[in-house]
Amino acid sequence: MSVPTQGEKFSELLNHLRLAEEDAAMLAHLTRAQGGHKDNTLADGWLRISELLRKTCHYVTQLAQGKLQ
């Protein structure tokens, strides 16, 4: 059994965040494809979540690089 490293855990965290970002964007696309005004509002929400996850990836990377206090 190996001991996990910070680099491995950082990589795993970013991978999970990126997958979640992609999934939220796909949910927006699929929701919008269903049509209807209510669906478009929901799709916009999924797109905002996708954008927040993208920004989170950026902040996590900056934190790991020691650029955030």
Over the stretch 48-69, which tens digit does the pLDDT of each residue have?
A: 999 999 999 999 999 988 887 6
Which pLDDT score, from 0 to 100, does residue 69 have?
Answer: 61
Q: How far apart are the first and last CA of the chain?
A: 34
| Other beta carbons within 10 Å of 68 | 10
pTM of the entire structure?
0.85
Query: Closest Cα to residue 24, out of 45, 2, 1, 55?
Result: 45
Q: Are 39 and 3 in contact, with CB atoms under 8 Å apart?
A: no
Give the model confidence (pLDDT) of 11-59 as tens digits: 999 999 999 999 999 999 999 998 877 778 999 999 999 999 999 999 9
Q: Are the CB atoms for 24 and 53 separated by under 8 Å?
A: yes
Identify the band that residue 1 occupies on the pLDDT scale cut at 50, 70 and 90.
confident
